[in-house]
Amino acid sequence: MMFADVGGAAHGLIRDGKLRVLAVTTTRRVDTLPDVPTMQEAGIANYESNAWIAAVAPVATPAPIVAKLNRTFNDVVASADTKWHFSTLGWQPVESTPRQLAII
């Protein structure tokens, strides 16, 4: 048994039928694995584990610049091309705010 990033090396193994996926760790099913249950659906209550990527800036970056960068990144994340590309990796992009990152 192992936990693996669907978008990493496991993707090819899953696609080729060499790796059996029992569940995903997100709270909703993964678009590229629609028949695979979540851990919660598989009977493990309140389970969630996600990987994430963030863009950061120096602490003294002015708020208007942070806001502009955030809007730009969110526009990219929301684009159809990005969603398609990420889906081929098994990733599900989510827009966020600087505040959401600050509480992690």
Q: What is the pLDDT of residue 102?
A: 81
Secondary structure string (H, E, C) spanning 5-31: CCCCCHHHHHHCCCCCCCCECCCCCCC
Q: How many domains are contained in the chain?
A: 2
Residues 79 and 34 placed together within one structural domain of the fold: no
Same domain, 36 and 58: no
pLDDT confidence bin for 14, thresholds 50/70/90: confident
List, in order, residues 6 or more apart from 21 with CB less than 8 Å away.
6, 14, 33, 36
Tell me the CATH number at 2. 3.40.190.10
- In this prediction, residue 46 carries a pLDDT of 92
Q: Please give the pLDDT value at position 89.
A: 75
Q: Percent of the chain, pLDDT > 90?
A: 44
Same structural domain for residues 56 and 83?
A: yes
What is the structure's pLDDT at 104? 58
**Higher confidence at residue 41 or residue 103?**
41
Mean pLDDT of the region 14-30: 89
